[in-house]
Structure formats: C-alpha cells, structure tokens
Amino acid sequence: MNTLCYGQSEVNKAEPTLTADSYIIPVGGDVTLTCSVDSSADWKYYWFREYSALQPITNVKPVNKVSEGGSYQCRAGRGDPEIFTEDSRAVTVWKTVPNKAVVTLQPNWPEIYRGETVAIRCEIQGGGDTEWTYQWRPDNLNTSPTVSEHKISSTDYNSGGYSCRGWKDSYSFTEWSNVFRLTVSYPPAAVLTVSPLWLSPGDSVTLSCEVEHPSAGWRFYWYKTVPKLSDYSYIYELLPGSINGTEQDSYIIHGPTHTAGHMCRAGRGDPVYYTQYSKPGYVWSGDVHSAVTLKVSPYRVQHFTSDSVSLSCEGNFTKCRVRRFPEDQNWSDCYKWRSMTGSTCNISSSQQSDAVYWCESGSGEFSNAVNITIQKADIILVSPVHPVTEGQSVILGCKLRTGELLSNVFFYQNDKLIQNDTRRELNISAVSKSDEGFYKCKYSGEESAQSWTSVQAVSRPENSSSLLPLIVRLVCVVVFIILLILLYRYRRSKDSHSVRPIQSESTNQDSVTHHMVNLNETQDHIYNSLLHGDTCLYESIKGSEDPNLLKNSIYTSVCIFSISMFTKFSKSHNTLLCDCFEHCGHYNTVIL
C-alpha cells in the first residue's frame, strides 16, 4: 500500500507496528488489532482496511476490534500541524462464514474399486446463489480454477482423506469440512452358483450371481461358455436379455437338456465398470446325445484307488478335450493331470479323484456328464454310469478289490433292503421311475459306498394314427360349411316360386308322420347311392319335393358320405365312425 502524505514530506517518521490476536475471525466473533509506535505518547491512530479499495476507519485509538475480513494497516500522527508516521505493514484477517462445507461421493457407494471413475464433490450448505470458489485437501486437487467437483479414476494413490472449504470472497470462507475417507480396493470377483447341478426332465436352472455390496448400483450380466480348445479356455456369449444387464442377481434358464457352462459378472457406473468374471458354473446332464458322448471304461461309477480308468470322447467332431470338476470346485483339463491320446484320457491310480467328468468339442458342444468316485474301501458297487431308460433291464453287482464277484450280497435302495438272497446280482428286468435312487451293497459285514442310479423316461414319438380323429373333424366341418352354402342357395331358389297354401292342422300332422317315414327311406336311398357311386349329392337335392325332408336328408347323406370315406383309412378305427356321427348329429341339432 502506498504511503499517504498529509503535507509534511521531510520529517523523520517512525514506523508503527500492527499486530492481531488472531488472523481468523470466528463465526459471530471479532479480532483485536493493535497499532503501536516506539516513541513518546500523544499519537493519534488512523486505520485502513483494503477490501475492494482503501477505506479509512474512524478510530484514533491504538486498539481496534474488527469483525470483517480484509487487509488492515495503520499509521499514527501528532502535533499541530500533524506529522504522520509511515504506514504499517499490512495484516490480513479472514472471516469465517456460518455456511458448512460437506464432502460427498458420487455415486455414493460404500466401497470404490481400482479403476472405477467417481466424482468427489464439495457442497456448501445454505450457499444460495453465491459464486463460491473451493479449496481442497490434499493440495493436488487445487488446480486452477478451483471447482466443486473432481473426477477420480481410482487407484491405490487415491486412497486417503479428503476435505474442502468454500471461499465466499478473498477474505471470507467456511470452516474445513469433516474428512471424507476414500478407500480404493482391489476389483471384486463375482461368484456364480447354479441350481440344480444335475438336470431332470423339465427342470429350470437358476443362476445366481453374488458380489460384495450387492445393493450398491450393480447390474448383472449372464454368459454361456463356448469351449475354445486352442488355448484351453472359453469364449463368453451373453445370454438373451442380458446385453444391458439385469437388476436382479438371478437368471432363470427354462428347459435346458444338455450339460452347459455359465459365467456372470456385475457392472455399474457410466462408463460401466465391470467386476472380474466369475469362475464357470456348470449344470450337468447324464443324458447321452448324438453330438458328443463321454464313455467310461470300466463301465461303472465306483472305482478302486488301484484302478486305471479310461475316458473317451465319441461323436462327430475333429477335436475334443476331457474336463473334470472335483470336490474342490477347481475345474481342470486332462492335459494338466494326464495327457490326452487322441480323444481318450487315461487316468492312472495316482491321478484319480472324485469328480464329475465331461467332454467338450471344438465345435462348442458339451457331452453328457458322468460322476466318478474313487473308493479306498475293499468293496464297491457295480452300477451303470449313464441313465437307464424306462423299460430297459439293468444289473447291479458287488465287487471286491481282489476282483472277485460276490454272491450272497445284500442290496439296498435309499437305505432300504431290497434283496438278501443267494444271488450275486440285482437284476431289474424293466426299470421304472420308482427304481431311481441311491444304491449300495453289503457283503460279509463290509458295505460299499452308495451311488445314484438315474432313470429317464422313454421318448415316445407321436403316432400318425392319432391324427385321424382330427382329420375326421376337419372334413365334417368343411362338408358342413358346403351344405350351408347349398341350403342358402336352395332357399333363394324357393323364394322365387309361389307360396303354397296353408294346410289344416290335421293335414300337417299327417305330413309330419309321412315325413319321418320318407326320411328313413331317403337316407337309405342316399346311403346306397353314395356307396355305389351311381347318384351324386346334387341329384339328391334336386329330386326332393319336401324342403324339410330335403334339409335333413342333406346332412344325413353328407355324414354317411364322410363315414364311407374314412372307412377307407382304417376299418378298425370304429371310434372314428362314432366321432363322425357325433359331430353330424351336433350339426343336425343346431340346424333342425
């Protein structure tokens, strides 16, 4: 600030000292400024505040209480004429305004993951229309111009505390906000669960995807896995309705029939931030289909620890791999625990484990799945690997580690004893759905583990003869429509002739009786004519004089004609004839 001159330019001047008891004025408070000169007394003091311009303050005392922010100076003067000191050095005082600053996070998620883009925002409560500027901690956010919001692409470096305050002008600001602590975590992995794991006919499969903080804005994306044999991985294809994600954390697949793999992940924000993919989850089907089939040798579910097992992929493919899903739920390929020979994986005793096994082809097909268990006991149940079709026979046996096939064996289904005689095998000549269940065997006090035997329903192709009743109905309907047209044309023709005089009541009664007799005669005549082909339907219509008799005769004739036609399909289908009579009778009832 320039020195103010009041007429005495060449006088020895003292320099006053300006001090403040605080440099920040609290909300509703003030600050005391003191101006002092190191010489004799009798000084008058002059105060100045620089805000937008230099403004004198009317106060001649050495102490001044101020409640507004600004840059303050003082000077002293004495004598007559008055001699002034130089201006003091400026002291800046800032005023604290009552508005409160708050740091918020947008979106306001409980946890932020590495790579996510979020906005950290400074909000001034009760700020009104004031053009605020903002100050941040840490200082690296204080880029020019200072703004209320910063976009952060989260890294470990961004973890820490954030606070802000708002500046109303150059000399007044809010207090610092409370510290907002931002923690940046490693990206979460989605976890997929599949229910049920094994398919039964008509089942729907439910996929469930779990991620940390499931309510924190996540949408869920669902995929099927397509085998990629070149690098032993999968290609992920979005399931229908999943391109934009689903709000629900579950997804239902209706009516699957084959073994399949699925994955999920979650995403949120704009641009979308995705979690890691889940591990594959599988739904298994034991049904054998034509594309690719897994065969097991020896053909049984249970094996001894000393056994070697051969798993072969068969079907229409050029390349295939065998995969297993053991109890630890970490799937692996045959090459990791045994090399493939063509499409066959040979497992030695040292590499065996309880697991579900299946094949995957280069064309993206999954085979049936088989459950193989390895037994340390000296006795195993011999049971089929694949589901048994209803009506087929099945034989279950019991085997010792020595290779001996046993007799006098007890067999159990679902822990219920079902055979305890001298036979060595359980022979079911024609299995049904009631034979499905867990089986085990027991011999001389030793008991095998139990294994599940699945029974699948017979696939019944539709019988072509079952379509005949439908054909009968359709023909009857078509003929009925034709007759309606003929009747309509007949009535139009009748209307063009003169009206007959009304007969007496007694005459009408005789006519009705006569009509019933003639109806039977007419039916016989038309039926015989149609069977022998010597009289056509139109001739019968023209030959009748009685319109009521003619109308009944037409429907009766057509129905008999329909029956004679379908007799040529099959004389053994008597129900068809009844069906036709039923429909023709229905039409007679409506018209008559």
Of the given ranges (92-106, 247-261, 269-283, 345-359), which has the lowest mean pLDDT? 345-359
Averaged pLDDT for residues 292-304: 93
Band (339; pLDDT cuts 50, 70, 90): low
- Tell whether 254 is covered by a domain: yes
- Tell whether 578 is covered by a domain: yes
**Same domain? 322 vs 398:** no
The CA R_g of the chain, rounded to the nearest whole Å, is 50
**Tens digits of per-residue pLDDT, 472-501?**
788 888 888 998 888 877 777 766 554 444
What's the number of domains the chain is made of?
Answer: 6
Cα–Cα distance measured from residue 566 to residue 570, given in angstroms and rounded to the nearest whole number: 7
The answer, as to whether pTM is greater than 0.85, is no
Element (H, E) at 334: helix 334-337
Greater confidence, 270 or 337?
Answer: 270
At 234 the three-state DSSP class reads strand
**Same domain? 213 vs 238:** yes
Query: In this structure, what token pair is assigned to residue 455?
Result: 């029974």
What pLDDT shows up at residue 100?
95
Extended strands (E) in 170-319 = 172-173, 180-182, 184-185, 191-195, 204-210, 219-228, 233-238, 250-254, 260-268, 273-274, 281-283, 292-297, 302-304, 309-315
- Tell whether 466 is covered by a domain: no
**Same domain? 266 vs 198:** yes
Query: How many C-beta atoms lie closer than 10 Å to residue 440's C-beta?
Result: 22
**Same domain? 544 vs 561:** yes
Its domain, for residue 566, covers: 517-592
Query: How many C-beta atoms lie closer than 10 Å to residue 508's C-beta?
Result: 11
**Same domain? 200 vs 213:** yes
**Same domain? 277 vs 300:** no
Q: Which residue, of 81, 96, 111, is where some domain finishes?
A: 96
What pLDDT shows up at residue 337?
67
**Same domain? 263 vs 202:** yes
Q: Which residue, of 185, 213, 245, is where some domain finishes?
A: 185
**Tens digits of per-residue pLDDT, 495-539?**
655 444 434 333 333 433 333 334 344 334 433 333 333 433 333
Cα–Cα distance measured from residue 103 to residue 163, given in angstroms and rounded to the nearest whole number: 6
Band (40; pLDDT cuts 50, 70, 90): low
- Tell whether 328 is covered by a domain: yes
**Tens digits of per-residue pLDDT, 379-410?**
999 999 999 999 999 999 999 988 776 778 99
Band (362; pLDDT cuts 50, 70, 90): confident
- Tell whether 43 is covered by a domain: yes
Q: Which residue, of 185, 218, 235, is where some domain finishes?
A: 185
**pLDDT higher than threshold 50 for residue 291:** yes
What pLDDT shows up at residue 78?
85
**Same domain? 73 vs 104:** no
- Tell whether 9 is covered by a domain: no
List the Cα angle 155/157/163 in 5-degree steps.
105
At 541 the three-state DSSP class reads helix
Q: pLDDT above 70 covers what percent of the chain?
A: 76
Band (231; pLDDT cuts 50, 70, 90): confident
**Same domain? 195 vs 279:** yes
**Tens digits of per-residue pLDDT, 565-583?**
443 434 434 433 334 444 4
- Tell whether 558 is covered by a domain: yes
What pLDDT shows up at residue 200?
85
194 and 282 in contact (C-beta within 8 Å)? yes
- Tell whether 36 is covered by a domain: yes
What's the mean per-residue pLDDT of the chain?
A: 79
**Same domain? 198 vs 239:** yes
What pLDDT shows up at residue 489?
79
Band (460; pLDDT cuts 50, 70, 90): low
Averaged pLDDT for residues 421-431: 91
**Same domain? 199 vs 254:** yes
Of the given ranges (17-31, 141-155, 399-413), which has the lowest mean pLDDT? 141-155
Please, which residues have CB within 8 angstroms of residue 129's CB and are 6 or more apart in sequence? none
- What dihedral angle (degrees, nearest 10) is formed by the CA atoms of 46, 49, 53, 55? -40
**Tens digits of per-residue pLDDT, 247-269?**
999 999 998 989 999 999 999 98
What pLDDT shows up at residue 469?
65
Averaged pLDDT for residues 286-291: 79
CATH number at residue 426: 2.60.40.10
